[in-house]
Structure 1
Amino acid sequence: MISNILIAEDEVRIRTLLKMYLEREHYDIEESDNGLDALSKALNKDYAAILLDVFMPGKDGLSVLKELRLHKDTPVIILTAQGSEKDRSEGLSMGANAYLLKPFSPKDVVSTVKEVLKNKSC
């Protein structure tokens, strides 16, 4: 079973915190701090899941998701600081598996990852 997760988040503090919590759960973590790098990694490697920030340099998270969905069905959890209901429904309609608003608890992220992966394996 694939247990590696890509964290695509431009804020170092958030990325580091998520990495720490997910590694405690025995996931292997790769990181990206911009949308172009995240898309390249997501297309060239298989991940169990991707945590994808919406507002990143290079390419925003929704654009990354849209392009990723043309090629893969990797589970994606959208992370964003500004989340209107319209943004949420747009992300989910584009193929996101879950949507978390900042500020969030790292424990909530871990439980969401587990839930998304459980649903994918069903």
Structure 2
Amino acid sequence: MAAVLVERLVQNLVENAIRHNHAGGQLWVSTRRRTDQVEPVVSNTGLPVPPYEVETIFEPFRRLHGDRLRSDRGSGLGLSIVRVVAEAHGGTVSAEPREEGGLTVAVELPQVNV
């Protein structure tokens, strides 16, 4: 597993959660370790995300809430890079809207023994 790519994956998750959060909102970063995998999880308190839009946020250049051109909200590549890196390492990524607004994004990666 390329450590620099996994570092980029986590950095993209956190930057995305910050960028799409409310002013004064909250951000949670945690990790879970299972027998054969590790799972970084990032949640925020941003705008509500409709469940039918969740899968589209992993598409390149895709942004929600009317952002279609490059703006201070990014270029729409962060979560697509997260997905590509996760899959390249045999992992998966999923997102779930938070009832209060915002999103929880979890990445499951196979554990590598060093």
Give 1 or 2: higher strand fraction. 2
TM value normalised by structure 2: 0.30
More RCO (CA 8 Å, sep 6+): 2
Give 1 or 2: higher helix fraction. 1
Larger Rg: 2
